[in-house]
Amino acid sequence: MSPSESLDFPYLSELNEAQRAAVVYNDGPALVIAGAGSGKTRVLVYKILYLIDSGYHPRGLMALTFTNKAAREMRHRISQHIGSRARELRMGTFHSVFLSILRQHATLLGYTPDFSIYNTSDSRSRIKAIIKQLGLDDKVYKPNAIHSRISSAKNRLITASAYASYSDFIKYDAKSGLPKIAEIYQRYEAELRLANAMDFDDLLLQTNILFRQHPDVLSLWQERIDYLLIDEYQDTNFAQYMIARQLMQDKGAIFVVGDDAQSIYSFRGANLDNMLSFTKTFPSARTFKLERNYRSTQTIVQAAGGIIAHNEYQIPKEVFSEEAVGDPIQVHEALTGDLEALWASEEIQRLHRAGASYSSIAVLYRTNAQSRILEQVFRRVGLPFRIYGGRSFFDHKEIMDVVAYFRLMVNEQDEEALLRIINYPKRSIGDTTVQRVREASRHQATSLMRILRDPLGYEVAVNKPTATRLQAFAALLDELRDFSRTESDLYAVAERIIRQTGILADLQSDTTAEGKGRVENIKELLGGIDEYIHATLEADQTPTLASYLSEIALMTDQDGATDDDDCVTLMTVHASKGLEFAHVFIVGLEEDLFPSMMSNIGKELEEERRLFYVALTRAEKTCYIGYARERFRNGRTEYGRPSRFLRELPKQLVTFDSELGEGATLGGRPSPSPRSYGSELPSDFSSAPVFSPKAPPSRRVFIERRELGEEPEEKHTSLGALHVGGRVLHKRFGPGEILELEGTGDNAKASVRFDTGETKKLLLRFAQLEVL
């Protein structure tokens, strides 16, 4: 840096050479490749300061972000240098900035300046009403899925009329069994117009239309904007790309920052091509690479680099760190998903005893459903945690709906549970009818269920068809309640409720990513019930629906940690982007889980690899990776292969430990051995098949159990193989020491003090203890 620069722009001295080169370059389009932890926000802030100090007026600078939080943070940091002038910057999210422009020119598009904005809930509600108007089945035309399809079209700048004229779309929809999507889209747009409203996606679509149909308006804004700056450019969609291109194609005063290695939102419409082809869009563009990572140890940075190097579709870069070398990445092989969670809890407690705060630790996973077992194990061992960017497993709507049905099986007078599901899945029982039923219940001083069984007899003001629907609902609940009281197998009870109420079919009809996630959560709930059955039988108790509800009520009723508490953070990898923690655990590194079975080839696989890269680079000091050889997923126990990403980690940066014996495979249950910390990483992680032909059959097969006639399998642990003081391994509670043995045959029991501090008395015919 020259002496004059250090005097005129003192903040430049806080930048490294690569950062400074990007900040001071004002001679044309600039693409800044900002690797993880490379100081991206600082570069953007100082670029804006440098432009202002170089003579640009704040009002002529437009800075676009993807979150309001990022915009607020940048504006605050800029205001610390230039004070109130920071308010003049055109800074905010794409949607907020272009909403302001649209309001100024609304009449040109046929709106008034005070047009309304429909959020996602508003849009889905309107689409739902249109589906009803058209006489379509909303179990086929799911409002969420239709909204997702329309949103995707708008983000690709496809209007309703254009959609209806594209034969490929019409053919695709017809093949998908949804030939009326074009008509729904057209009617939806007409109703938005009639309501003088735009939805969230219109803010970008209508801006593009405004600029395309009114060149004078485009020229006006080209003159007003002296410089365009865009954060997280790898996450832009086609509509955002076209706005930037129209505004700056001729002027070239554009500065974009992002990291192609962190492009993980294609399911939201993000198009990595926007970044990879930036130099084609702006041929005079200069590329700057911020390759120094200030966040993580050398080990973590090199490991992440080794992973992303396997992607073909990327901008080459050499990210490095000058921090300490740091500890090797620890890869742990667990026998089951439960034991993987237990391992994570033990390592977290070890870190805490060594001085780490709980809030400096995060556990990352690929899917929301994976949080259930982590939550249960962490609660059991007393580990404080919070769910970031999401909800506790039992707070998801679909889980609460199923549990409401469970509650009504045990207590038919549970009014809150009944009101929650009286019209779910849809059975044409409207709010007015519900209100009249409640009024009759209060007036007659009797339960809602009694009113539902005989609404006309209790003088509910409804017509005969409505009364018939109410009685049919009551009959369904009564039938299921009778079954739940006579069927001894709790799993069969839960399975039948989920199936016969129509909940499963309703959720499966939603083919969006959200819908698939809800189905996965239902399957995970059944997995938890299966585990509860095992644990209860081991304790020589009878698992019932009432006892299960008591178990989860006590579990979910505990005081949760607040944002201010010192607690471990649990989150999906997607939610972790942009965050950092001293210690990071990444769990579930198995084929078909991470990478996802829906994204295991081509560009989809490359995005999964980028997602793993994001997970690794959240860690500052240490990183732990876990996988299980056996996990309850998709409604059954699956015997999994370790993720291919584990093979891609540089071996010299990794240590490996396992709960399985040396050379163990899943061809028959191995005898677990004590963990061997620091052993060499296996050369081939793929030796175990997904479903071993020798492995014991799954105890449960989701929804198919009755047809297959499978029954719970009892696996006896030989009493002769056990002795007081001996060490054993339990699939759920982990390793422990036998304190006492009693009984014989089917009544043989063992009292075991587990390493977690818990002592359990287990019925050996169910416990499946492994001798260590």
- Give catalytic residues, as residue numbers: 40-41, 231-232, 262, 618
Cβ contact 98:230 at 8 Å: no
User: Helix, strand, or coil here: 165?
Assistant: helix
Distances (CA, A) of 417 to 126, 400, 402, 466, 680: 27, 9, 10, 21, 53
How far, rounded to the nearest angstrom, does the alpha carbon of residue 388 sit from its chain's CA centroid?
Answer: 10
Is residue 434 packed enough to be buried (19+ CB in 10 Å), middle (13-18) or exposed (0-12)? middle
| Other CB atoms within 10 A of residue 185 CB | 25
Q: Is the peptide bond before 143 cis (omega within 30 degrees of 0)?
A: no
Compute the distance between CA of residue 123 and CA of residue 118 in angstroms, rounded to an integer: 6
Compute the distance between CA of residue 359 and CA of residue 373 in angstroms, rounded to an integer: 20
Return the structure tokens found at 423. 């019209």
DSSP 367: S
Cβ contact 239:156 at 8 Å: yes
Distances (CA, A) of 402 to 64, 319, 394, 502, 549: 42, 48, 10, 11, 11
Cβ contact 100:113 at 8 Å: no
Burial 36-69 (b: 16+ CB within 10 A, else e): bbbbbbbbbbbbbbbbbeeebebebbbbbbbeee
Q: What is the largest CA-CA distance in the chain?
A: 93
Cβ contact 434:453 at 8 Å: no
Compute the distance between CA of residue 151 and CA of residue 171 in angstroms, rounded to an integer: 19
Distances (CA, A) of 8 to 12, 51, 53, 54, 76: 9, 13, 8, 10, 22
